[in-house]
Amino acid sequence: MSLRWRLTVFYTALVALVLAAVSVAGFLTIRGSLLGNLARELNNSYLLLRDVVPGLNLKDPSTSEERDAAGILPRAVYLFPDDAIQVEELPTYDLTSLQEAFAQAQSPQARRQLLNFVRSQASSRRQFIRMSEDNAVRLSDEELARLIGSPNGRLLVDREVRDPYTEVSRPHRFLVVLGPLQLDPGAPPNLAIAYIGRRLDPALRTLAQLQRGVLALSLLGLLAAALGAYVLAGRALRPLREVRQAAEGIGGQNLDERVPVPPTGDEVEALAQALNAMLARLQASFEAQRRFTSDASHELRTPVTAISGHAGYLLRRTNPTGQQRESLNIIRSESERLTNLIASLLELARSDSGALTLTRQPILSTLFLGEVARELAPLAQAQGSELRVTGEEVPFEGDPDRLKQVLINLVGNALKAGASTVTLTSTAQDGGREVRLSVADDGPGIPPEHLSRLFDRFYRVEDSRSRDAGGAGLGLSIAKGIVDAHGGRIWLESEVGRGTVAHVQLPVGDGPGLEDGDVP
């Protein structure tokens, strides 16, 4: 994952956490406020029931016969327009005696008997408004025990209550109060359990709407945060991306180029300056190395040529002894090998400096491979090997002399490795825009640990690819430089015991538009 995406994910996750925390906190605050207001309204209704309208008939008439002479509902219906009320009288106890009896009942069985007795007393006389006998609120043993044992004699419970007028059950929250109430006019207050309930669905709908709204806003905010983080991260990393792109385009052939230095005044600007300073040092080092290689090769060529010439003269013009002749042959052979090494070093120096000139000409691939095979046929016959040319004819542009040097090196390596059959193949690649020249052999193959280093200078795999102890390990490096100069690529595929395939893939250029008669 790129740095831009990592920054986007990080800031989006951070915003998501903040939005989630704010949303949850806001939702819980509003929920607490709504339910708190509901609890206060229930408490106010209880105070009204206890203090303002003592002895009020709570019976909620459902037929016209139960209305008063004017056909108007009792005052309780108007005093409690939003409340569902249930009152249960407990004439046997007062609050103190009931709590003492409950405290003295230590065993579960004794408490259960007490709770059953309280229930039987409570159900003997009930009054309702907007409720009915068959829809009465009933407390569980645990809830009734909590109510009796509560210091203020209060309990909040949620129940489904069926509206006697609409016959629809709706969620209600009830404030259950254990305390004295005056149920009959002029009579003293008796201990009673009062249930004052209000519908929960308005609050629940409000909370559901709030939840949907918060979720939608959070998703929009998260999307905006992700988009903003992606755009800002891209703008912040743009100078770094420009530096990277410029650095990727700098190679051994163009070390004089420099990466752009963005005027940001931050670490990116410092990085670009450090890269330019490093490139300047590398350029100076490579220039010194190229000058040394070129100068040393030129200086060595003359004495080596002289040594080879004098050794040959002594062999031709004098009558040396057998031991002297052997020494002179060794001198001449090693001087010739040193001459080839110097030529290779000069070739590499020209390639490194960008002075490797190419004379591009039209080439026909199979015809070109056939010329390479004919040139190396004597060498192959001498060791009992066979050269084959196959594939499709693909016209392309290139320097035939340089490319022949590459193919001769590859075929020569295969013959040195002991291959009995070497096959040269040409195929069109990438829809005809490239040509691939392949050299396949049935030699011993190359161990996989050596494949990545075969194009390093002076690197040799003596055991598997070369019987010539005099090899310098520069052939593949020179071949790679030539192929790179053509804008192509070269690589090897090998399997131990099954042989090796070397591939050279080059751009066709203007080759497909050439006539056969234009090919030399």
Give the single-character DSSP code of 517.
G
Read off the pLDDT of each residue in 307-314 and give the average, rounded to a whole number. 82
Question: For the chain, what is the radius of gyration of the CA atoms?
Answer: 50
Q: Is 174 contained in some domain?
A: yes
Q: Is 492 contained in some domain?
A: yes
pLDDT at residue 65 tops 60? no
User: Do 448 and 371 sit in the same domain of this protein?
Assistant: yes
Q: Is 31 contained in some domain?
A: no
Alpha-carbon distance of 438 to 407, in angstroms, equals 9
User: Do 338 and 434 sit in the same domain of this protein?
Assistant: no
User: Do 460 and 312 sit in the same domain of this protein?
Assistant: no
Final residue of a domain: which of 169, 199, 229? 199
Taking CA 263 as the corner, what is the angle to CA 261 and CA 269, rounded to the nearest 5 degrees? 50
User: Do 192 and 292 sit in the same domain of this protein?
Assistant: no
| Amino acid 232: pLDDT | 86
Alpha-carbon distance of 42 to 147, in angstroms, equals 16
pLDDT at residue 272 tops 70? yes
CATH number of residue 431's parent domain = 3.30.565.10
Final residue of a domain: which of 150, 167, 199? 199
3-state helix vs strand vs coil in the chain, percent to 5: 55, 15, 30
Read off the pLDDT of each residue in 282-298 and give the average, rounded to a whole number. 72
User: Do 406 and 321 sit in the same domain of this protein?
Assistant: no
Residue bearing tokens 């110097």:
342
Read off the pLDDT of each residue in 214-227 and give the average, rounded to a whole number. 90
- The larger pLDDT score, comparing residue 73 to residue 365, is at 365
User: Do 329 and 379 sit in the same domain of this protein?
Assistant: no
Q: Report the domain count for the chain.
A: 3
Q: Is 425 contained in some domain?
A: yes
User: Do 74 and 142 sit in the same domain of this protein?
Assistant: yes
Final residue of a domain: which of 353, 376, 402? 353
- The larger pLDDT score, comparing residue 348 to residue 439, is at 439
Q: Is 9 contained in some domain?
A: no
- Worst-scoring range by mean pLDDT, 117-131, 213-227, 431-445? 117-131
- The larger pLDDT score, comparing residue 510 to residue 104, is at 104
User: Do 372 and 300 sit in the same domain of this protein?
Assistant: no
User: Do 448 and 513 sit in the same domain of this protein?
Assistant: yes
**CB distance 101 to 93 below 8 Å:** yes
CATH number of residue 274's parent domain = 1.10.287.130
> What mean pLDDT is reported for the chain?
81
Q: Between helices 201-248 and 267-317, what is the axis angle to 10°? A: 30
Q: What is the pLDDT of residues 456-497, one digit of tens each?
A: 777 766 544 444 444 556 778 888 888 888 889 999 998 888
Alpha-carbon distance of 278 to 490, in angstroms, equals 29
pLDDT at residue 67 tops 90? no
Query: What residue type is 401 in one-letter code?
Result: D
Q: Is 209 contained in some domain?
A: no
What is the pLDDT confidence band of residue 66, given thresholds at 50, 70 and 90? very low
User: Do 347 and 372 sit in the same domain of this protein?
Assistant: no
Q: What is the pLDDT of residues 14-60, one digit of tens each?
A: 989 998 999 999 999 999 999 999 999 999 988 888 876 665 556 55
Q: Of 114, 182, 106, 108, whose CA–CA distance to 144 is shortest?
A: 114
What is the pLDDT confidence band of residue 172, given thresholds at 50, 70 and 90? very high
User: Do 315 and 370 sit in the same domain of this protein?
Assistant: no
| Residue 344 belongs to domain spanning | 267-353
State the first-to-last Cα distance of the chain, in angstroms, to the nearest integer: 52
pLDDT at residue 73 tops 80? no
What is the pLDDT confidence band of residue 81, given thresholds at 50, 70 and 90? confident
**CB distance 89 to 125 below 8 Å:** yes
Q: Is 224 contained in some domain?
A: no
Q: Is 229 contained in some domain?
A: no
User: Do 370 and 487 sit in the same domain of this protein?
Assistant: yes
